[in-house]
Amino acid sequence: MPWSSLFQPIERLTAEAGLEDWYARLLARLGGTPQPFELALLGGLQAATPGLAFLAGYQAALRMLWPAAPWTAGALCVTESRSTRPADMTTRIEGLQISGRKDFVTAAECADWLLVAAREEGEGQPPRLALGVLRQGASGVRIEPLPALPLMPDIGHARLHLQQAQSERLAGDGWDDYVKPFRTLEDVHVLTAVSAWLFGIGRECNWPDALLLRLQALLAGCAELARQAPNAPTTHLLLAGLFAEQQALADEMEAALATGPTHWAELWRRDRGLLRIAEAARAKRLEKARQIVAGC
C-alpha cells in the first residue's frame, strides 16, 4: 500500500457524468487494477462526497469477496422485504437460471455485474443459498430505479426483477462463503474510505495535528484488519474497536468541520449516518465473538 499517496495533493472526483463514469475515472487514476484496500483508501480520499467514498469502499469489499470479479462496478443483491435471512427469501436458482426479486440493490445504475443470493434447497430441506453472477441488461434481468434516499442521495438504489435469468454459479455456500463475510468486508472497507475522505478534508482545512494523527492511526488499523479473515471472532472484536475509535473522534471532527467551508460540514451532516448502517448487526456479531473468545 503506497501510504505516501495519503499526503499528496488531492484532486477530487465528482460524478456529474454518472457513477459508472466516476468509477471508471477512479480506476484509471489508480492504475486500472488497484488492490482492494488501496481502492477504498484512495477512492475515499479522492471522492467529492461521503456517498462516493462509500461507493469506493463498497466496490473494494466486493473485490475482496470475489477476487476474480471484472474490473467494472458490481453489486451484491441479497435483501428481500427488508430481510437478509435465507428463510425469508423467495428468489430461487434452478440449474443456472434465477427467478425472483431483490428489493435493495446499491448503486444499481453503475453495476455491470450482479451477485445474487438465491435459494437452492430441495423441498422439505433447510434453506440453502447459492450465489449466481448476472450481467445487467441480460435477458430476464430488469432494474427498477427507486427514489433517492435522504442518506447518500447521490448513490442510487434499485429493485431487481429476475425471470429465468441465466447465471454463472460461484463455488461454495452462498451464505457462509459470501453473504455472511461480506458484512464484515463492507464494514472494514467503507470505514476506510469514509475515514480517508474525512482525513482529506482535514488536511485541506488545516484541522489540528492531533486529530489528523488519530485519523491516520485509524486508517492504519483498517489496513491491518483488511488482512484478517472476515469470519474470525477476533476480527469482529478488532472491528468494534475501530468503530469505537471513529465514534470517539466524532465530536472533535464536527467541531473542526464547523470552522471550515460550510459545504463540507453540510455533506457530512447529511451522510454521517452511513457509518451506522448495520450497526445492530455489528453489535450482535461483537457479542457472539466475545462469547466465543471467552469460551476458548
Please say if the pLDDT value at position 183 is more than 70: yes
Whether the CB-CB separation of 152 and 54 falls below 8 Å is answered with yes
Q: 84 and 226 in one domain?
A: no
* pLDDT tens for each residue of 244-272: 999 999 999 999 999 999 999 999 999 99
Please say if the pLDDT value at position 34 is more than 90: yes
**Residues spanned by the domain of 97:** 74-169
Strand residues in 172-226 grouped as ranges (E): none
Q: 100 and 31 in one domain?
A: no
Q: 187 and 164 in one domain?
A: no
> Which residue, 169, 195, 210, sits at the end of a domain?
169
Q: 196 and 275 in one domain?
A: yes
pLDDT at 29: 95
Give the separation between CA 219 and CA 91, rounded to whole angstroms.
38
> Which residue, 120, 142, 169, sits at the end of a domain?
169
pLDDT at 53: 98
Average pLDDT over every residue of 18-23: 96
Q: 80 and 61 in one domain?
A: no
Q: 185 and 86 in one domain?
A: no
Average pLDDT over every residue of 14-23: 96
* pLDDT tens for each residue of 131-146: 999 999 999 999 999 9
Q: 128 and 29 in one domain?
A: no
Q: 266 and 164 in one domain?
A: no
Please say if the pLDDT value at position 1 is more than 90: no
Residue 226 CB partners (closer than 8 Å, separation 6+): 36, 37, 40, 64, 188, 189, 192
Q: 208 and 79 in one domain?
A: no
* pLDDT tens for each residue of 70-105: 999 999 999 999 999 999 999 999 999 999 999 999
Average pLDDT over every residue of 30-52: 96
Please say if the pLDDT value at position 205 is more than 70: yes
Q: What are phi and psi of 152, to 5 degrees?
A: 50, 60
> Which residue, 148, 169, 190, sits at the end of a domain?
169
Instruction: Report in angstroms the alpha-carbon separations of 14 from 5, 42, 49.
Output: 19, 14, 8
State percent of the chain over pLDDT 70: 99
pLDDT at 238: 97
Q: 136 and 187 in one domain?
A: no
- Whichever domain contains 116, its CATH number is 2.40.110.10
pLDDT band, very low/low/confident/very high, at 151 (cuts 50, 70, 90):
very high
Q: What mean pLDDT value characterizes the chain?
A: 96
Residue type, 271: D
State percent of the chain over pLDDT 90: 96
pLDDT band, very low/low/confident/very high, at 296 (cuts 50, 70, 90):
low
Q: 280 and 225 in one domain?
A: yes
Average pLDDT over every residue of 115-127: 95
Q: Please count the structural domains in the chain.
A: 2
Q: 187 and 290 in one domain?
A: yes
